[in-house]
Structure 1
Amino acid sequence: MKNGMSAAGLRDVPELRYLNADNVARYRAVMRYFYQEYQRLRYWMRPEEVYEGVNNWGVLDSYTLEQCLADLEQLKNWQNLASRHDGGRAVTIEEYMRKKSLYLLTPYSIEIERMLETLETIKGYGGSLETTYLDTISECLLSIRGNVGAFAAGEALQCWDKLFQAFKQMHENAADFIGSMNSIQAEEMMATDAFLAMKDRLTDYLQHFVKGLQQSAYQIEGHLQQITPNVRDLFLEQAVDDELAKPRLDEVQSREELLDRWTRGWMNLRRWFLGDDREASELQQLERATKDTIAKVVRSALRLQERRRVGVSRRKDLEWLAVRFEQAESLEEAHCLAAYAFGLFPGRHLQGEDVRTTDRADAAMWQEPPIVRGIRSRSRKRLGKSDAEPVRSDDERKRQHRAIVEAQLREEREYLEQLASLGNVRLEQLGVLEPRKRLRLLSWIGRCTASPSRSFVTSDGYRITLSAAKAGERAVLRCTDGDLDMPDYVMKVEYALTERRATDNG
């Protein structure tokens, strides 16, 4: 089963036929009764017990024992039920003449009824964003790193089940929650006033998840990078041995099939957190989707608040203000009231010919005659041809911006050449840095930690490689505006084009 599918997985499924048969109500009632009794640990059922239990529900009209017997035999033919002869003593002649059998649910039917019971309770996407799953994944990976080859009997399988169950639940719950936030029901709910009451709680919930995601993601990525393929294979072999050591009555997968399936599961886990050469990790996509959801919630709340403000009538406030203006005893008092009520108006510069009618220095502007100034209409309707305006030239502004960018690139190139001459360098060996160099250095460290290879190539052709700091080792990055405590990384800068030429010549 190298490709994950066998010929048996492509067969017809007769166990599903009772869901779309002509007498579907009768079959569904019989199967649901069997399933409920199975949950009560009652497995083998007589036809009379099934008939009495279904009739007590009152969902089928004129249901007879003969119909129940026919339904049981049909479900047996569809492999939903298994039967055996009932060796009990007959009490009546009818029981003696009738072939007596006991019926039992098959494993396929149990899973079908369990699925149907789950589907009946689904009212939406559901899901949640819980950081506890990330903590569980980190703990399991740390245990694999420290105890590989030293697990007691059964501990490796327990660790694998705990790890993969937490990963599966976290992925499914997160996908369902993000899907629910982008559904039509969520869009309609975000357009109602009731959404404002839960906006803060929802935003805090999403922000808490993003913060926990960022804190746990680096630990999980570090553990996965430290677990080599040999350590992984040794752990999975121990887990497979524990699984095969369990006594089972039914048919089980072979050791090779089980190991191949679990290895592919591990690779999916690693790809989810670290990504691959073709695309970014699912972890980054989940973080981006969560941040987009936060922005969507904030935008919806702002639209609701603006709509509520637009709909509020200020007629009474304006009437009260008009009464206060009417009660003002002087123009000066009205000016003060306007200043308190409306504040300063934005300034407008109007050109005009200043014609003074008096030379008095104490003449107020309110006593001056108005200056008439013609204003162009803002209507979209064109009234006539206007004079062509010259095209504005931005050459000087572009030249100045280009000079600034070239100076920054020149400074960055000089700093890269300086680091390349030092070879492997620790953060404490960089001396006292200026704020610009510190920001540039932190930007490089961020790009290296975000890359699966812990390295990247700059636009000038320099490859910057970052070696992970040992556990517990810290360094102080000294700057002119303060000190920054951070892991003691080792940075290596080299010219990438030189590597390419050497590879081509070799």
Structure 2
Amino acid sequence: MSKNPNLQSLRSVKELKYVNADNVTRYRAIMRYLYQQYQKLNYWLKPEQIYNGLMAWNLLKTYTLEQCQIDLDQLVEWGNLNSRHDGGRAVTVEEYLRKKSQYLITPYSIEIERLLGNLETVRGYGGSLEPTLFDTIGNILSIIREKAGLYTAGEALELWNNLFESFQKLHEASVDYIASLQTGTAEELMATDAFLLYKDSITRYLQDFVQALQRRSYKIEGALKQMTDEETQRFFQAVIDDEGRIPKLDEQVSPEQQFDELADKWDGLYRWFVGKGDSGSELMMLERASKDAIMKIVRSVVRIQERKRSGISRRKELDYLGQWFYRLDKLNEAHKLAAYAFGLFSARHLQGEDNRESDSQEQSMWKEVPIPRTLRSRSRKKNERQDTEAVIDRSRQKEAMREAFRLQHRRELEFLIKMVAAEEVRISQLDVISTETRLQILYWIGRCNASSTSSFQTPEGIEIQLHQPAQGERAILLSEDGRLELLDYRFNFRVVNESAWGDLLIGLEAS
């Protein structure tokens, strides 16, 4: 909202020296008195008036008029005061001999004192969320578009002042209020039970602001986008003309500088509501920050409530729920009640052997074969020491598993030998096959489809080539565990490694 700094704006501020000088109490007392008199329309003051005003505060016990005169001259040197010769008639010899002057606080020092006065009242970020400012800004922009550059004397300046004051108040107050919710004091309050008294009002306050922002900001955004550069320049020129009608005796600003300042402020207004280039608007950032604040409040309230509930006995509730389960006759009804009462449980990954009886995806999980899994106790209480047990001999189970694996591998090799002998086979040509053979064929199809050449080589030295049907014909693969509809694939089998394949056949016949 402000233009880039230049060397003049980055100079050392000598007018602030009195704030941290050695005699800071005396300097600040003089400046505060002159600022108060300025507000009372008393501008040029004599050293005696300033000295008597300071002594009336009863703060500087040993302060003299000579010291006051020295301090005034120092403030003039720093640029905080303007001085002029006092042409009044001298009444005493001391007044005649002393160089008589009058002092006026400078505009720069007025802003410094105004800032220091505001800083004394700061008790936090403060701020507020005022949705009505959106209506004010939107209505002013609508009037500017309707006027189309035809303004009465003073009308454009009044519209500009109201527009920018409302925008500045909206921006600063809203940002300060959102920042107040991020302070350490707010964090501490959100962790206490007392926050429950405020959470409804704060949440409703933020929600009303977000809703007003969403409903009314589009009017402002649309008005800014629809305004042409010509309309904007005519409005700026009308504001500059109104400024020129106000007689000013201090330093004059050229119309070009005024136009650049208005353009910079208008650009800040446009970027705040609409954005520019790839960067989003600050309005969207404010909306996101308001929503984040609502979520933060809700999370804090949930934590407080959970902490309060953790110390309450739920024995009666659980007993009632247990009796409710006991009265149910059907398992599905119990499943539904558990879902309503407990919701989804967090997932736990347990290691085990998955012995599925079917590959159907439609089979319910409740019909699956359970996998026994022994869980160790997590109790902190140490178990009694037990005697060391001998290692269990599982050689028989291992030998049974080896024999089952050898038989399965032999059946797979026999089917592969049968296919190699046929050299070319289609899915539609197969008879009823076993479940193991069906899984073997699906494995071949998956390996071929994953290859760029639609083929792969088995460890036995057989190359299997897969061909898809030209017209997309489909076939039914019949197996012991059901029917599977798929494309009528064609397989070609070719022996790549003759020696390895011959040794395998000899070994298979010998066994």
Instruction: Identify the residue that residue 353 of structure 2 maps to in structure 1.
Output: none
* 2:253 equivalent to 1:272: no
1-structure distance, mates of 2:276, 2:80: 44
Instruction: Identify the residue that residue 297 of structure 1 maps to in structure 2.
Output: 297
Question: Alignment partner of 2:61: what SS?
Answer: coil
* 2:85 equivalent to 1:72: no
Question: Alignment partner of 1:122: what SS?
Answer: coil
- What letter is aligned with 1:376? T
Instruction: Label 1:309 to 1:245 Cα distance change in 2 as closer, same or farther (>3 A).
Output: same
* 2:325 equivalent to 1:344: yes
Q: CA deviation at 1:38?
A: 1.1
Q: Cα deviations across residues 89-124 of structure 1 (Å, max 9, x unaligned)?
A: 333322232222211111111111111101111111
- What letter is aligned with 1:89? R
Instruction: Identify the residue that residue 375 of structure 2 maps to in structure 1.
Output: 377
2-structure distance, mates of 1:41, 1:150: 38
Q: Which structure has the bigger radius of gyration?
A: 2
Question: Alignment partner of 1:8: what SS?
Answer: coil
2-structure distance, mates of 1:10, 1:292: 37
Instruction: Identify the residue that residue 168 of structure 2 maps to in structure 1.
Output: 168
Instruction: Identify the residue that residue 90 of structure 2 maps to in structure 1.
Output: 90
Q: Cα deviations across residues 38-72 of structure 1 (Å, max 9, x unaligned)?
A: 11111111212211221222222311222111111
Q: CA deviation at 1:337?
A: 11
2-structure distance, mates of 1:197, 1:3: 44
Instruction: Label 1:307 to 1:86 Cα distance change in 2 as closer, same or farther (>3 A).
Output: same
Show the 5 A alignment for 1:390-409. none
2-structure distance, mates of 1:283, 1:297: 21
The alignment yields a C-alpha RMSD, in angstroms, of: 3.2
Instruction: Identify the residue that residue 56 of structure 2 maps to in structure 1.
Output: 56
TM-score, with structure 2 as normaliser: 0.62
- What letter is aligned with 1:268? G
On the 8 A contact 2:3/2:264 being kept in 1, the answer is no
Instruction: Identify the residue that residue 230 of structure 2 maps to in structure 1.
Output: 230
Instruction: Label 1:85 to 1:150 Cα distance change in 2 as closer, same or farther (>3 A).
Output: same
Q: Between Structure 1 and Structure 2, how many residues are aligned?
A: 345
1-structure distance, mates of 2:142, 2:311: 57
Instruction: Identify the residue that residue 221 of structure 1 maps to in structure 2.
Output: 221
- Segments of 5+ residues of structure 1 without an aligned counterpart are 322-335, 349-373, 388-394, 400-506
Instruction: Identify the residue that residue 256 of structure 2 maps to in structure 1.
Output: 256
- What letter is aligned with 1:74? Q
Instruction: Identify the residue that residue 426 of structure 2 maps to in structure 1.
Output: none
Q: CA deviation at 1:207?
A: 0.5
Q: CA deviation at 1:135?
A: 0.5
- What letter is aligned with 1:23? N
Show the 5 A alignment for 1:32-43. 32-43=32-43
Question: Alignment partner of 1:84: what SS?
Answer: strand
Question: Alignment partner of 1:129: what SS?
Answer: coil
On the 8 A contact 2:141/2:223 being kept in 1, the answer is yes
Q: CA deviation at 1:275?
A: 1.5
2-structure distance, mates of 1:189, 1:3: 39
1-structure distance, mates of 2:115, 2:290: 30
- What letter is aligned with 1:82? N
TM-score, with structure 1 as normaliser: 0.63
Instruction: Identify the residue that residue 205 of structure 1 maps to in structure 2.
Output: 205
* 2:149 equivalent to 1:149: yes
Q: Cα deviations across residues 421-447 of structure 1 (Å, max 9, x unaligned)?
A: xxxxxxxxxxxxxxxxxxxxxxxxxxx
Identity %: 50
- What letter is aligned with 2:15? E
Instruction: Label 1:308 to 1:147 Cα distance change in 2 as closer, same or farther (>3 A).
Output: same
In terms of mean alpha carbon deviation, does 143-152 or 79-88 score higher? 79-88
Instruction: Identify the residue that residue 20 of structure 1 maps to in structure 2.
Output: 20
Instruction: Label 1:378 to 1:276 Cα distance change in 2 as closer, same or farther (>3 A).
Output: farther
* 2:247 equivalent to 1:247: yes
Q: Cα deviations across residues 129-149 of structure 1 (Å, max 9, x unaligned)?
A: 111111111001100111112
Q: CA deviation at 1:235?
A: 1.4
- Segments of 5+ residues of structure 2 without an aligned counterpart are 327-333, 339-371, 380-388, 398-441, 447-511
Instruction: Label 1:341 to 1:69 Cα distance change in 2 as closer, same or farther (>3 A).
Output: farther
Instruction: Identify the residue that residue 436 of structure 2 maps to in structure 1.
Output: none
Question: Alignment partner of 2:8: what SS?
Answer: helix
